[in-house]
Amino acid sequence: MVEATGLFSKLWLVPALPLAGALFNCLLGRQVSNFVVSIVACGSIGLAAALSLLLFNSFLKLPVEQRHIELCMYNWIPSGDFSAPIDLLLDPLSMVMITMVSGVSFLIHVYSVGYMSRDESFARYFFYLNLFVFFMLLLVLAGNFLVLYIGWEGVGTCSYLLISFLYHKQSAARAGLKAFVVTRFGDFFFVLGIMLVFVQFKSIYFGEVFPRAHEVLTPVMATWVALLIFGGAVGKSAQVPLHTWLPDAMEAPTPVSALIHAATMVTAGVYLVARCYPIFQLSPTAMSTVAVIGLLTAVISATIALVNNDIKRILAYSTVSQLGHMFIGLGVGAPAAAIFHLLTHAFAKALLFLGAGAVIHALHEEMDIRRMGALKGHIPATFWTFLVGALAMAGIPGLAGFFSKDAILEASFTNGGVLLWLIMVVTAGFTAFYCFRLFFNAFLGEKRWDPHVEEVHHPAPVMTIPLMLLAVLAAVGGYMGVPHALGGADRISSFLAPVFPPAHHTDGVSSSRLLGIVLMAVSSLSALGGISLAYFFYVMPGNREIPERLRQTFSGVYDALSNGWYFDKVYQVVFVDRFMGAANFFWQAVDTSVLDMTVRGLAGLILGGGEIVPRLQTGLVRWYALFMVAGAVVIMGYLYIF
């Protein structure tokens, strides 16, 4: 481990700048004009992005063995043998992450300036957004588990705040609550994981835990630790069975969905697992669990996306399924590929969301793809950029998504087996289909707009320019990891290699070039198939009723899909209702009845005595005398007996 020197000692500025921006907008945002607010917000993030690029630059200059820089700010929680300092860790993984996070969030900030321009709580929005970026950067820069947890909870909180940003909408409030509580459920396991790590290692530093993992942990313990941490990841990255919050989270303003629920926060789970990879490695059980969960998620959400009609929800489900792909990548031992996919997906999906935002914006908050169409002519910039994004997402050769996805596919073929690979190929086809179903419905075909839309809003340049930049990234982003199969150097995985112990994982070095190429061809074909099917259904005239007929014939399946496989309903019945029932029971029956009644009863008894006892006091002298005599007799009797 290397002490931070030179430029690296300024590392803390990367998260600090967004924080500063956030504080400014929090304290003064209501006083200053929107312009100042946006300058401060975007400026702070921009500086952070620039700084991280500089860091990247000088980081690449370092020799590989020195690419592990820690910067300890101060000791946060010292208690006996436990101590959790605030320390930042810069290694290839976090380097890549901060660059991506700061860059993407800068673009989205700029976009938001245009998108939110008419919102009255402009400052509040940018306060939340900057705060989110701060926590996200802290998360990826964390040097120990607890700091990571700060960022982890922080981004969750900001996501909650931003989802329920439109506070007057009950649905938004509900979605925010749901998002927070569901992810908190995952965090519960994460906390346990952290404590278990401490109990095992007597330390929570990444620098001390991971190197010693293989000697400290017994296989069983390793499984426990890994699974607990993975629990956190499942919650945050919306994996089955905790995926239900993400689609609802689309209540948030679209840029927020782009930033938090596509590019950055939801990928934190992937980052976490990648970060803890040395522990996961020790437990095949954990690895296969990760893979299986990922696969389930990928398939389920992809299928749901096939039939959904809400433009943002389609993208949300697609996000979930892509995250599933990343977890598969991790599960089959290709963490670098997973991170690679994380990056490309971030670009592409951010692009798609922003494009969707532009569409929604254009059609006056219209979200249903059935009431769109023929936008090509109206908002060309959006059209072209969206096309790039869709292609990249579908994994058309040459674009970013292609390389990363195929890296994972290849790894899963070699380590996971043919069946896994097949399912993923089919899923890739689904992906291509729903992406272009969305695309065609929105931009091509005839107008199906809502009558009240007489003319479309044209996005301001602050909105289109980020789109274009992202489009470029989505297009060329893949070339950081051209596989060896295609004669590339796969720089990304070699760059990340020091983070992931060179155990038995085989991304990059595939068994043979031929096999690699074959696999790519097949997956590309399935993608093209999906696209052409979508084209056949939604663009070629006269075929629009085919999907209708399909829907009638397979109505059962359709309902299942359109209801998201009934997850929400089941949860409502099984958990929420039960919980409320129990709570009511304990309150009514136990607290106010049993416990309270005992007290009331006691008081009543005593006060009742207060009513009765004085009644002996009849006011009659002879009665009193009688009492005295009785008393005398009793006493004499007592003395006589004892």
Binding residues for other proteins restricted to 162-191, rule: CB under 8 A? 164, 167-170, 172-174, 176-177, 180-181, 184-185, 187-188, 191
637 φ/ψ angles, rounded to the nearest 5 degrees: -60, -45
Instruction: Map residues 111-130 to x or -, x wherever contact with other proteins holds by CB under 8 A.
Output: ----------x--x------
**Which residues lie below 8 Å from residue 399, measured CB to CB, with a gap of 6+?**
388, 391, 392, 474, 475, 478
Q: Which is nearer to other proteins, 167 or 566 (CB)?
A: 167
Among 49, 116, 161, 420, binds other proteins (CB under 8 A): 161
Q: Do the strands 82-90 and 69-79 form a parallel or antiparallel pair, or are they unpaired?
A: antiparallel
Nearest CA to 339 among 383, 404, 292, 387?
404
Residue 402 to residues 223, 395, 438, 468, 482: CA-CA distances in angstroms? 33, 4, 19, 19, 10
- Residue 133 touching other proteins (CB under 8 A): no
- To other proteins, the closest distance from the beta carbon of 77 in angstroms equals 6
- To other proteins, the closest distance from the beta carbon of 210 in angstroms equals 16
Start-end of H helices in 308-399: 311-331, 335-362, 380-394
- Residue 640 touching other proteins (CB under 8 A): yes
Helix (H) or strand (E) holding 90: strand 82-90
Among 65, 215, 455, 642, binds other proteins (CB under 8 A): 642
CA distance 305 to 534: 13
Footprint (CB under 8 A) of other proteins, residues 349-388? none
- Residue 606 touching other proteins (CB under 8 A): yes
- To other proteins, the closest distance from the beta carbon of 78 in angstroms equals 6
Q: Which is nearer to other proteins, 49 or 131 (CB)?
A: 131
- Residue 153 touching other proteins (CB under 8 A): yes
Residue type (1 letter), 298? A
Nearest CA to 229 among 170, 287, 180, 175?
287
User: Can you read off the two tokens belonging to residue 68?
Assistant: 């592990």
Among 6, 63, 81, 487, binds other proteins (CB under 8 A): 81
Rg (CA), the chain: 31
Check if the beta carbon of residue 339 is closer than 8 Å to that of residue 492.
Answer: yes
Query: How many CB atoms are closer than 10 A to CB 493?
Result: 24
Among 448, 582, 589, 601, binds other proteins (CB under 8 A): 582
- To other proteins, the closest distance from the beta carbon of 590 in angstroms equals 8
Q: Which is nearer to other proteins, 78 or 380 (CB)?
A: 78
Footprint (CB under 8 A) of other proteins, residues 608-637? 609-611, 613-632, 634-636
- Residue 216 touching other proteins (CB under 8 A): yes
Among 53, 64, 78, 589, binds other proteins (CB under 8 A): 78
- Residue 602 touching other proteins (CB under 8 A): yes
- To other proteins, the closest distance from the beta carbon of 609 in angstroms equals 4
CA distance 268 to 233: 7
Q: Measured in whole angstroms, how far is the alpha carbon of residue 278 from the centre of its chain?
A: 22
Nearest CA to 9 among 62, 73, 95, 67?
73
Among 2, 32, 72, 195, binds other proteins (CB under 8 A): 195
- Residue 504 touching other proteins (CB under 8 A): no
Helix (H) or strand (E) holding 126: helix 122-141
Q: Which stretch binds other proteins (CB under 8 A): 148-156, 491-499, 504-512, 532-540?
A: 148-156
Residue type (1 letter), 433? F
- To other proteins, the closest distance from the beta carbon of 639 in angstroms equals 4
Q: Which is nearer to other proteins, 160 or 340 (CB)?
A: 160
